[in-house]
Amino acid sequence: MTSSDPLRNLGVRVGPQAGELRVFSASADAMELCLFDETDPNWLVKSVPMTRDANGVWVGRSRSLTVGTRYALRVSGPNAPANSFDPEALLIDPYARGLVHVGGDGWRSVVVPDGFDWGDARKPGTPLDHTVIYEAHVKGISRLNPDVPEELRGSYAGLAHESTIAYLKDLGVTAVELLPVQAFVSEQRLVQEGLTNYWGYNTLNFFSPHTPYASRAAQAAGPAAVLAEFKGMVKLLHLAGIEVILDVVYNHTAEEGIDGPRTSFRGIDNATYYRHDDTGAYIDVTGCGNTVDFGNPVPQRLVLDSLRYWANEMQIDGFRFDLAATLGRGTDASFHRDHPLLVAAQTDPALQGVKLIAEPWDVGLGGWQTGNFPGPVDGHAGWSEWNDRYRDRVRNFWLADIAEARRNGQAPVGIGGFATRLAGSSNTFSPERGPLASVNFVTAHDGFTMADLTAYDVKHNLGNGEDNRDGTDNNRSFNHGVEGPTVDEAVLMTRAKAVRNLLGTLLLSAGVPMITAGDEYGRSQRGNNNAYCHDSELTWLSWLRTREQRELADTTKRLLQLRRENPALRPALYAVAGQTTPNASHMDWYDATGQRMDDDDWNSPENRTLQYLAASTPDKEEFNRILLIVHGVEDDVEVSLPQAPGVTSYQLLWDSATEVPIPEDETELPPGTTRLVGGTSMQLYRANGPREAS
Within 309-443, residue ranges assigned H as helices are 340-347, 388-395, 401-408, 416-422
- Please indicate whether residue 638 is annotated as part of the active site: no
What are the residues facing 384 on neighbouring strands?
357
Question: Residue 550 and residue 544: Cα distance in Å, rounded?
Answer: 10
Short-list 412, 322, 324, 314, CA closest to 135: 322
- Please indicate whether residue 392 is annotated as part of the active site: no
Which residues, 6+ apart, have CB-to-CB distance to 519 below 8 Å? 442, 443, 449, 450, 451, 499, 503, 556
User: Out of 229, 322, 535, 655, which one is annotated catalytic?
Assistant: 322
DSSP 448-489: --HHHHTT-SS---GGGSSTT-SS-S------TTSSS----H
Which helix (DSSP H) or strand (DSSP E) does residue 548 occupy?
Answer: helix 547-565
Q: Are 174 and 241 in contact (CB under 8 A)?
A: yes
E strands in 158-200: 175-178
Question: Residue 528 and residue 692: Cα distance in Å, rounded?
Answer: 52
Beta strands 681-688 and 107-110, pairing class? unpaired
What are the residues facing 11 on neighbouring strands?
22
**CA–CA distance from 158 to each of 149, 213, 276 (Å)?**
8, 9, 42
Question: Residue 53 and residue 4: Cα distance in Å, rounded?
Answer: 13
First-last CA distance in the chain = 51
Question: Under DSSP, is residue 430 helix (H, G, I), strand (E, B) or coil?
Answer: coil
Question: Residue 23 and residue 402: Cα distance in Å, rounded?
Answer: 58
User: Out of 269, 293, 317, 359, which one is annotated catalytic?
Assistant: 359
Question: Residue 372 and residue 384: Cα distance in Å, rounded?
Answer: 10
Q: How many CB atoms are located within 10 Å of the residue 350 CB?
A: 13
Which residues, 6+ apart, have CB-to-CB distance to 691 below 8 Å? 615, 623, 646
Q: Are 178 and 133 in contact (CB under 8 A)?
A: no
Question: Residue 5 and residue 17: Cα distance in Å, rounded?
Answer: 23
Which helix (DSSP H) or strand (DSSP E) does residue 386 occupy?
Answer: strand 384-386
Which residues, 6+ apart, have CB-to-CB distance to 129 below 8 Å? 436, 570, 571, 572, 583
Residue 332, classified by CB atoms within 10 Å of its CB into exposed (0-12), middle (13-18) or buried (19+), is: exposed
Residue 493 φ then ψ, to 5°: -65, -40
Question: Residue 159 and residue 177: Cα distance in Å, rounded?
Answer: 12
Within 172-264, residue ranges assigned H as helices are 188-192, 216-221, 223-239
Residue type at 687 in one-letter notation = A
Q: Which residues are catalytic?
A: 322, 359
